[in-house]
C-alpha cells in the first residue's frame, strides 16, 4: 500500500510513523508513507496557504489552489482508491471502515486545519470524509495518524500474529473480553480458573460470553448492529 498525507505540519506526523507497528510495516515494505507539505504548493510570495472566508466571520480557510495543485500532481502519478479528508462532520471512523481501507492499494489523506478547506475541494476531490469523534482538534494531523494506524495494522503481515487483529474490540460488534497474564495470584486477585483449564473450547465460549456481557454493560448500542 502507498499512503500520501497532505499536511501543514509534516513533522507532527513523521515521528508518529517512526515507531512501533507503523515503523515495522514500513520496514517490511508493506506500506510506503509519504508526507506532502502544503506550504510547498503556495501560490504567493509569503508561502501561506490560507485566506479570509468570503462573507466574513472569524477564522481562516485553506485555499483551493495549493490543495488542488498537490492532489492533481499526485493523481498524475497513480490512481487513488480513496482521497480522505479529516473533518469533524465526517463519517465516524469504525472498525469496519478500517477493515475496508486496509485492503486498498493507494490512499491519500488531507489534513484539515483552521475553519476548514475551501468547499470546492470537498466537492471535487475528496471521496471520503472521516472523523475520529464529536470534538474539534487544532488540526487534522492527529486524526490522520489515528486513521492510518487503524488500517495499517490490519494489512496482512504487519502484525506478527494476524489472528490478534481478528479478536480486537469491534471486529464483531463486540467489546473484547478481559485478559490476564502472570502471576496467577496477585494480592489474592486471581486469574479465572477457566483460563487455566487448558480446555480451549470452554475458554473460547467463556470469552464470547464475557464479550457479550461487557458489550451490554459498556456499549449496548453495538448489539443493535
How far apart are alpha carbons 75 and 78 in whole angstroms? 5
**Predicted TM-score (pTM) of this structure:** 0.88
pLDDT at 213: 96
| pLDDT tens digits, one per residue of 75-127 | 999 999 999 999 999 999 999 999 999 999 999 999 999 899 999 999 999 99
pLDDT band (50, 70, 90) for residue 34: very high
Does residue 167 have a pLDDT over 90?
no
Q: End-to-end CA distance of the chain: give it in Å, rounded.
A: 30
Which has more confidence, 174 or 79?
A: 79
Q: What is the rounded (10 degree) CA torsion for 180, 158, 151, 77? A: 170
Does residue 164 have a pLDDT over 80?
no
Fold of 167-224: 1.10.1270
Q: Do the beta carbons of residue 112 and residue 118 sit within 8 Å?
A: no
Does residue 163 have a pLDDT over 60?
no
pLDDT at 172: 78
Q: Which helix (H) or strand (E) holds 75?
A: helix 64-75
Instruction: Provide CB contacts within 8 A for 18, sequence distance 6+.
Output: none
pLDDT at 76: 98
Q: Do the beta carbons of residue 82 and residue 108 sit within 8 Å?
A: yes
Strands 185-186, 50-52: pairing is: unpaired
Extents of the domains making up the chain? 2-152, 167-224
Q: Residue 223, SS3? A: helix
- Which grid cell is 71? 492532489
CATH class of 2-152: alpha beta
How confident is the prediction for the chain on average, in pLDDT?
Answer: 94
pLDDT band (50, 70, 90) for residue 5: very high
- Tell me the longest C-alpha to C-alpha distance in the chain: 71
pLDDT band (50, 70, 90) for residue 161: low
Question: How large a percentage of the chain has pLDDT more than 90?
Answer: 86
What is the DSSP secondary-structure string of 86-153? EEEEEEEP-HHHHHHHTT-SEEEEE--BTT-B-HHHHHHT-SEEEESSSS--SBSHHHHHHHHHHHHT
Amino acid at each position: 500500500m502507498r499512503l500520501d498525507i497532505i499536511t501543514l505540519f509534516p513533522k507532527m506526523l513523521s515521528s508518529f510513523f517512526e515507531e512501533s507497528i507503523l515503523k515495522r510495516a514500513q520496514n517490511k515494505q508493506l506500506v510506503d508513507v509519504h508526507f506532502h507539505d502544503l506550504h510547498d504548493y503556495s501560490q504567493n510570495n509569503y508561502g501561506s496557504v490560507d485566506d479570509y472566508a468570503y462573507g466574513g466571520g472569524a477564522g481562516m480557510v485553506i485555499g483551493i489552489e495549493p490543495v488542488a495543485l498537490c492532489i492533481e500532481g499526485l493523481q498524475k502519478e497513480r490512481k487513488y482508491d480513496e482521497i480522505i479528508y479529516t473533518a469533524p462532520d465526517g463519517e465516524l471512523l469504525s472498525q469496519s471502515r478500517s477493515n475496508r481501507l486496509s485492503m486498498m492499494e493507494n490512499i491519500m489523506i488531507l489534513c484539515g486545519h483552521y475553519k476548514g478547506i475551501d468547499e470546492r475541494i470537498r466537492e471535487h476531490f475528496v471521496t471520503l470524509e472521516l472523523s475520529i469523534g464529536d470534538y474539534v482538534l487544532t488540526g487534522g494531523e492527529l486524526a490522520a495518524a489515528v486513521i492510518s494506524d487503524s488500517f495499517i495494522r490490519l494489512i496482512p503481515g504487519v502484525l506478527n500474529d494476524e489472528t490478534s487483529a481478528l479478536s480486537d474490540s469491534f471486529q464483531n460488534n463486540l467489546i473484547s473480553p478481559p485478559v490476564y497474564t502472570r502471576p496467577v495470584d496477585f494480592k489474592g486477585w486471581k486469574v479465572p480458573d477457566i483460563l487455566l483449564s487448558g480446555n480451549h473450547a470452554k475458554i473460547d465460549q467463556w470469552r464470547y460470553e464475557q464479550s457479550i456481557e461487557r458489550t451490554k454493560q459498556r456499549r449496548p448500542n453495538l448489539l443493535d448492529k
